A and B are shown apart, each in its own frame.
Chain A
């Protein structure tokens, strides 16, 4: 149908301009509030202090006893991250299945919108996921170190709780981002929610889920190191000790191990994505 007044202005132009202005208005105070000042880095004495600290890092330590210790700590870190992720998945997948709108049976007869009361049931689960991930894992770790004592258990529990919140939220959103027609077709032919999930959501979402899960595993490796500083075991605890003893070479070896771990996660993610997408 032709526009009678001959007015061909893009109706989306106004809102787009508004969103851009809003983004700038939000980011600007953020920069000034955080007192970001890059000049400080290159200030005379600061630069010297950093250079002295870094020069201690070379060469990386490589004694036999140290390498044995390092490999033990690395395995412990990997174990913390993997066990934490496994526990997180046990919580996240059922929570995501409840929280997502993608598997709603009432939605197929309502143009994709679930019934209000069914929607209300999803809110407590979404709220739980928000609570789980809003408390930083280091706080959970401090809490659990007091509850179960120093060691990896505290790290595993802290990762399980925080990451369950993150994975649950992102999984629920991945489920909602896939093409809804295959799901609705199966639900509309009498399948249950879980059957529709297995036959219509998983084939479409598996690649993105795997890649996000491996990325989160990589984050968990990093997080477990940070938590080591508060006594939750693994590489972090060793790194804390080495830094305190000004053993720069040992810190360097640990950072190199770290680099290798992150690269491993990257390769793994790439392989899985190629296989599943």
Chain B
């Protein structure tokens, strides 16, 4: 995808009827997060994401990508700094309003959090629980109400035939795609994805990422995805944010990222054994 698309999305969005629903963008200022055990996972992070923007988070393991996503998802309250989502400050809202805000945020987990005995249709429909009343949710548990909607979400990921299968009958890659389908069905204003294709083969991974970015673009959804596979990040996302040691190392258009920057991002001086070839190339990224 070419970076010029980003500037165009804003104009495209202005014409959308659900524009008002989607609200503003995302902003973090001076956000830090320290775990209960004293480990500082994020350090003074500033980040502005416009509505409808699509960006990738890259960085070595343990850099703070997942923590950053969980802060954006309002699953973690930062120990310092301010979070603003769609013009609201989630941590000064009441618990009820925050739950309402959360229904507009979809997080795709690396390990799909689906109960083993649940059927795929129910797992996908669970994406809209935040928008459904309790009565409707319980009714749908007995007899799935919006089977077509779930089937449509699954069909975009080539899983329509799995609609009535149980989750424990699926492979790891299929489960990850069910997890994606659930969040697509939720149709949130902000879509976050934590290594969404880590259990898929390279072809399927590229395909699923295209589906994700295409659906995000179609609905004007803001999309933030963390990825270990740098090639995928550069190929599918116009903007890339590199995180290392809990800090933003660089934040730029993917076309402007240089090899030297990537080498510095993934340089690992803690490994006991460093094969010579690896040091020279500097960059060794597990594909998926």
Contact = CB atoms under 8 A, between A and B. Distances in A.
Contacts, number: 92
Interface residues of B, number: 39
B75 A184 contact: yes
A182 B95 contact: no
Interface stretch (B7-15, B131-139, B231-239): B131-139
Interface string B127-171: 101111010011001000000000000000000000000000000
Interface stretch (B18-26, B111-119, B241-249): B111-119
A188 B73 contact: yes
Most B CB contacts (10 A, CB to CB) among A108, A109, A188, A190 go to A190
A189 B115 contact: no
A182 B115 contact: yes
Contact of B134 (A179, A184, A187, A192): A192
Interface string A152-194: 0000000000000000000000000001011011111111101
B223 interface: no
Nearest to B36: A111
Interface in A190-219: 190-192, 194-196, 198-200, 203-204, 206
B102 to A, nearest CB: 4
B114 A191 contact: no
What secondary structure prevails in chain A residues at the interface with B? Answer: helix
Contacts of B132: 195
Interface in B87-112: 95, 99-107, 109, 111
Contacts of A185: 107, 109, 113
Nearest to B35: A111
A190 B134 contact: no
B186 interface: yes
B93 to A, nearest CB: 12
Given A181-B111, A182-B113, A189 B141 contact: no
30 contacts: A105-B95, A105-B99, A109-B77, A182-B114, A184-B75, A185-B107, A186-B126, A188-B73, A188-B74, A188-B75, A189-B102, A189-B107, A189-B127, A189-B129, A189-B188, A190-B99, A190-B104, A190-B130, A192-B129, A194-B134, A195-B129, A195-B137, A198-B138, A198-B141, A199-B126, A199-B141, A204-B115, A204-B116, A204-B117, A276-B117
Interface of A: 2, 105-106, 108-109, 111, 179, 181-182, 184-192, 194-196, 198-200, 203-204, 206, 276-277
Closest CB pairs A-B (n = 9): A190-B130, A190-B103, A191-B129, A185-B113, A190-B102, A203-B115, A181-B113, A182-B113, A195-B129
